[in-house]
Amino acid sequence: MAYEQLKLENQLCFPLYAASRLVIQAYQPHLEKLGLTYPQYLVLMILWETDNLSVNEIAHRLILNTNTITPVLKRMEAQGLIARKRSEEDERRVIVTLTPKGKQLQIEAAPIPEKLVAGLVSDDINLHELQALKDQLHMLIHHLSNQQA
């Protein structure tokens, strides 16, 4: 091949993309039992940590645009997991809060991370290596986020 830099095997982006898709795929059986998609699960994890956040704050934490997260929030509201209301201080801001059903789901979702890690640990990759990979990915995300800011 004339352009070695264009080989798929020489790309950083492809293994990140493929790993992301496969990890999300590993979550699916667990999330399907709860009636959730992966993006909905991410939103819930943010709200379980800090309830009553604006749409902008949620989008920022997920590194998404608000127009990407809004349809997800609308579906979650229709499912009775969250409520959205305009801020009294600034009506341009929409505040998202967990409903009792959304809060209850936290109990059912609590075992998912441990189950997922148990499915990833093998003879090829151990728990320490997974943790190191996660830490390196956080550094990469931080670096790339700072470049775009």
In tens, the pLDDT along 65-109 reads 999 999 999 999 999 999 999 988 888 899 999 999 999 999 999
Domain that holds residue 37: 24-115
Looking at the structure of the chain, the number of domains it has is 1
In a domain, 135, yes or no: no
In tens, the pLDDT along 48-71 reads 999 999 999 999 999 999 999 999
- Say what the pTM is: 0.92
Q: Lay out the sheet containing 94-98: strands in order across.
A: 53-54, 94-98, 82-86
Looking up residue 53, the CATH number of its domain turns out to be: 1.10.10.10
The alpha-helical segments, DSSP class H, found in 50-126 are 55-61, 66-78, 100-109, 112-120
In a domain, 104, yes or no: yes
In a domain, 62, yes or no: yes
Angle, helices 38-49 vs 100-109, to 10°: value is 100
